[in-house]
Structure 1
Amino acid sequence: MNKVLIIDDERSICDSLSFALEDDFQVLSTQNPQEGIEIVKNEDIDIVLLDLKIGNVNGIDVLRKIKHINEDTQVIVMTAYGSIESTVEAMKVGAIHYLLKPINIDELKVFMNKALDFRMLNSSLKNLRNIVVEDYSINGIIGRSKAFTNVLGKVEKVKDIDTTVLINGESGTGKDIIAKAIHFQGARKDERIEIVNCAAIPGNLLESELFGYEKGAFTGAVKKKLGKIELANNGTLFLDEIGEMDLGLQAKILRVVEDMTITPLGAEIPKKVDVRIIAATNKNLLEEVKNGRFREDLYYRLNVITIDLPNLTERREDIIPLSKFFLDKYNKKLNKNIAGFSVEAIRVLEKYDYPGNIRELENIIERAVALTDNPVIELEDLPENVLKFQNKPILSNNQYPISIGMSLKEIEKEAILRTLKHYDGNRTLAAECLGISIRNLQYKLKAYNYED
């Protein structure tokens, strides 16, 4: 049974309410507000029926302490001295309802049942939020290779910093997962994250999707619509594939980044917003700037903190853990019970180049789980384009292939750039490893038009 605590300085009211409720609830009562607070500390109380004036004690102060101890405890305030001011104050502090004495028992039970429904709903929402946060936590992301742990380390550093983040990476590398991890691990995790794929929405519709519009702003605007930016107020706006946005709309996004103001279509007065902006792209935005396809001022406003995602071939150690994760996922989704992978299938999966990165690996595993009749995923369950890699040697991240016909200059360039990348751009360490002077290394990098 649900526990109810009655706090009232009149013993007759405590007794009468206890008698009326004892068949439906486990009832505790006290005339001492301090004792009531101790009961809330030590018991899991679902509802408190609280007198607003308990002798010389202000019930609002008691209410405040109860909500501080357990915000899930629902409080219904009772008083013989009702006023608009006290009602508003009680509601602000956290009371779910306000009843005037003498108490109508039938009415009280209705509000108590509503309070229990609210408590259950609130608990479900908290559990759902915790599940979402756990799913998108850093610990929940698959990948323990050096290349990817560097990314996760950067996520940990920037998650609570209220500044723009630009995520660079090829298609299918998981840019959206990193954006969600930043949001759900950060200070704005209890607010909304709104995701806009700039490549998936036609340019003429993207502005209204982002900024919203007023009723009558254009033909067909029969009612007001809030845009994604306003919906993300106090939370996070994730602009995926921002490199696809046209120049005119880029100028309006720049204003949002700089001034945190928006003007919906058809509106005359700008609105203030408070959003954290995370952008992602599979394009080289600096090249897009040079070619006049992306605004330079917006690029530098977005490029405050950058996270560069490695492609799957740069984190081959993660292929098998990811494959097992997707196997579990599609076993559940397709009601299968595939136990794992054969040794031969594992070897081929490790050798394949994955031009579609993690997304392609997931598709390969989903297909194999759906079609196989074997107890484990075998070679025959993998697509033809993957099987072509059976005889290819597995190269670790500190190796690279030299093809017949490559010139010595091409081989030298590849060796220099890969060594520099291995040492995270540290030219001193790279030069030492290559056995050349820093001056010679800088000369060669200049010849390659290399930029940090």
Structure 2
Amino acid sequence: MANILIIDDEPSICSALEFALEDEYSVTSTTDPDKGLQWMNENTIHLCLLDLKIGNRDGLEILTEVKKRHPDTLVVMITAYGSIDSSVEALQMGAYSYLTKPINTEELNSVIEKALHYSELNRRVEYLTEELERKYNEEGMIGTSRSMTEVYQMIHKVKEVDTNVLITGESGTGKELVARSIHFSGKRRQGHLETINCAAIPENLLESEWFGYEKGAFTGAEGKKQGKFQLADGGTIFLDEIGDMPLSLQAKLLRVLQLKEVTPLGSNKTEKVDVRVIAATNKDLQQAVKDGSFREDLYFRLHVIQIELPPLRERKEDLPYLIKHYLTIYNNEMGMRIKGLSKEAEECLFQYHFPGNVRELANIVEAAMVMADGEIIEKTNLPSYVQGVHMSPLSKEEAAEAFVGMTMKDVEKRIIEATLKANDGHRKRTASMLGISERSLRDKIKTYDLS
């Protein structure tokens, strides 16, 4: 039952309103605004019916105090003067609505019902927002290591501002999770988060994917379509693998960032967009600038704040938490009851280098769970390339010496060929382990005729 407080300097009004509402709500009234404020400090009040003029006290001043101390309490102003100016001012100061004396009981009940419904919707939105924050902070980002703590601190610092952010790190370290965490815990969480993988979309389609197009803009454009930037208006756009963006489109992206407007394909009209840009890459963009494959002006535009994600091999202390996390996920998805890993299996994972980082760990845990015969994952359930981590007879120096006399192309071909074999031809996992995009891997496979 909702709690309603009435503050009016006329005892007869207080009594009449109490009588009209007491069957549906828990109602308290007072003619003293100070006692009313004190009552609100000591009790949860969902809605306050507040007179615009209480003796020599201004109801607007009381309204200010109520919203300052109890911002979630709804206030409905009551006035005998029918002053439009005062009523509008009350709404601007945070009142939900207003009623004029003499009060119509049917109108009173309608306003209160709508106000409480509005309050309940707000509470649901806040709850869902908290759930999103929890999902993308507590569940999505796992780890208590110092390096991950620094990442969490950076997310907290940038989530409420519109500054462009560049997330760097090897493939599989969780760059998209960081972008999602920034968006869903920040001030733009009510807007859309739109993601574009700059390496996965063919160059000839990337521009239309970004900016949209008009009907007839090209063959197959049968109707108007909004691009990712228009869909993200008021929200965030995440440009993943920005380092693989063609030079021809970098200038167009720079223009969007500078002017905050886009032009759909086939149109002469520009459309204003209000988006926060978060970009991510596993490449060294500074080196790409030196090589001429990435525009320096675009780099500086994106590289306002940098969040660098550590590779998994540098935060092995987080492995137990990550393993537990993925066991829980896959137990629920596959209807299994795997409790954990044997000491030998754990030791094997701690010794492994994880070139594919957290994404590779997730794949390893999932595969091992499928292969497990009981409730415990044994070392023999792990992929063969993980089991063999202890059996390599070569040191790093010896391994490097094995390539002496070979060209860089031959070395690259051998490494790609060996990694494909270790992953049974699985291209996504191979690209992850090599730290390159799937498109880059596809091109190299074609170049070296490894298909």
Sequence identity, in percent?
Answer: 47
The residue aligned with 1:388 is: 388
State the alpha-carbon separation in 2 of the partners of residues 379 and 172 from structure 1: 23
Distance change (3 Å), C-alpha of 1:69 and 1:323? same
What is the TM-score when the length of structure 2 is the normalising length?
Answer: 0.75
State the alpha-carbon separation in 2 of the partners of residues 402 and 276 from structure 1: 46
Is 361-370 or 8-17 further displaced after alignment?
A: 361-370
State the alpha-carbon separation in 2 of the partners of residues 26 and 406 from structure 1: 83
Q: Secondary structure at the match of 1:86?
A: helix
The residue aligned with 2:131 is: 131
Superposed, 1:311-330 pairs within 5 Å as: 311-330=311-330
Work out whether residues 313 and 354 of structure 1, in 8 Å CA contact, stay in contact via their aligned partners in 2. Answer: yes
Distance change (3 Å), C-alpha of 1:152 and 1:222? closer
What is the TM-score when the length of structure 1 is the normalising length?
Answer: 0.75
The answer to whether residue 397 in structure 2 is matched with residue 402 in structure 1 is: yes
The one-character-per-residue Cα deviations of 1:427-450 (angstroms, maximum 9, x if unpaired) are xxxxxxxxxxxxxxxxxxxxxxxx
Structure 2: tracts of 5 or more residues without a match:
406-451
The residue aligned with 2:195 is: 196
How far does residue 256 in structure 1 lie from its aligned partner after superposition?
3.9
Distance change (3 Å), C-alpha of 1:85 and 1:23? same
Distance change (3 Å), C-alpha of 1:22 and 1:404? closer
The residue aligned with 1:51 is: 51
How far does residue 123 in structure 1 lie from its aligned partner after superposition?
1.8
The residue aligned with 1:10 is: 10
Where do 4+ consecutive residues of structure 1 move more than 6 Å?
213-218
The residue aligned with 2:368 is: 368
The residue aligned with 1:31 is: 31
The residue aligned with 1:62 is: 62
Work out whether residues 194 and 237 of structure 1, in 8 Å CA contact, stay in contact via their aligned partners in 2. Answer: yes
Work out whether residues 140 and 177 of structure 2, in 8 Å CA contact, stay in contact via their aligned partners in 1. Answer: no
Distance change (3 Å), C-alpha of 1:377 and 1:161? same
Distance change (3 Å), C-alpha of 1:34 and 1:217? farther
The one-character-per-residue Cα deviations of 1:284-336 (angstroms, maximum 9, x if unpaired) are 32343344432221123223443333322333333333112222333344444
Q: Secondary structure at the match of 1:48?
A: strand
State the alpha-carbon separation in 2 of the partners of residues 89 and 248 from structure 1: 53
Distance change (3 Å), C-alpha of 1:251 and 1:8? same
Is 1-10 or 200-209 further displaced after alignment?
A: 200-209
How far does residue 29 in structure 1 lie from its aligned partner after superposition?
0.5
Distance change (3 Å), C-alpha of 1:63 and 1:343? same
Q: Secondary structure at the match of 2:92?
A: helix
Q: Secondary structure at the match of 1:389?
A: helix
Q: Secondary structure at the match of 2:340?
A: coil
How far does residue 46 in structure 1 lie from its aligned partner after superposition?
0.8
Structure 1: tracts of 5 or more residues without a match:
411-452
State the alpha-carbon separation in 1 of the partners of residues 9 and 215 from structure 2: 55
The residue aligned with 2:229 is: 228
The one-character-per-residue Cα deviations of 1:253-289 (angstroms, maximum 9, x if unpaired) are 223444545556646456374x543211122323433
State the alpha-carbon separation in 2 of the partners of residues 212 and 76 from structure 1: 45
Work out whether residues 3 and 26 of structure 2, in 8 Å CA contact, stay in contact via their aligned partners in 1. Answer: yes
State the alpha-carbon separation in 2 of the partners of residues 154 and 243 from structure 1: 22
Distance change (3 Å), C-alpha of 1:117 and 1:207? farther
Distance change (3 Å), C-alpha of 1:215 and 1:345? same
Superposed, 1:75-94 pairs within 5 Å as: 75-94=75-94
Distance change (3 Å), C-alpha of 1:173 and 1:198? same
The answer to whether residue 176 in structure 2 is matched with residue 176 in structure 1 is: yes
How far does residue 18 in structure 1 lie from its aligned partner after superposition?
0.7
State the alpha-carbon separation in 2 of the partners of residues 95 and 29 from structure 1: 19
State the alpha-carbon separation in 2 of the partners of residues 135 and 260 from structure 1: 31
How many residue pairs match? The answer is 401
Superposed, 1:268-307 pairs within 5 Å as: 268=269, 271=272, 273=274, 275-307=275-307
The answer to whether residue 242 in structure 2 is matched with residue 242 in structure 1 is: yes
Q: Secondary structure at the match of 2:374?
A: coil
